[in-house]
């Protein structure tokens, strides 16, 4: 497993499923360019509450606030996967979403 050093910022007006798909693809592409004959898998997951992406918590207090906001509510976890073979120009992308309810 190799880390893909990419910008994971949300673009203006970008909807969650587009963001998740774009980031998974960017991660895979970053590594696939380094290993063009390899099959590369990139993935990304985000938590979405009321159509807003909850980013990575900045610190433990931020994490507690996020968990508190999610408590007793439905939210969506979106996961995107990208499979690439750079040399053969093969790209497969998919996004799945799961509804989650915290107590």
Catalogue the active-site residues: 44
| Beta-carbon count within 10 A of 22 CB | 19
| 31: Cα separation from own chain's centroid | 16
Nearest to 45 by CA among 100, 2, 86: 100
Q: How far apart are the first and last CA of the chain?
A: 34
């Amino acid at each position: 497993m190799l880390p893909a050093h990419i910008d994971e910022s949300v673009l203006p007006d970008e909807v969650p499923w587009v963001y998740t798909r774009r980031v998974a693809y960017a991660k895979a592409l970053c590594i696939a360019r380094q290993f063009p004959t390899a099959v590369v898998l990139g993935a990304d997951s985000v938590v979405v509450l009321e159509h807003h992406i909850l980013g990575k918590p900045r610190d433990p207090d931020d994490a507690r606030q996020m968990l508190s906001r999610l408590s007793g509510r439905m939210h969506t976890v979106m996961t995107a996967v990208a499979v690439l073979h750079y040399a053969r120009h093969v790209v497969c992308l998919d996004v799945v979403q799961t509804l989650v309810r915290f107590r």
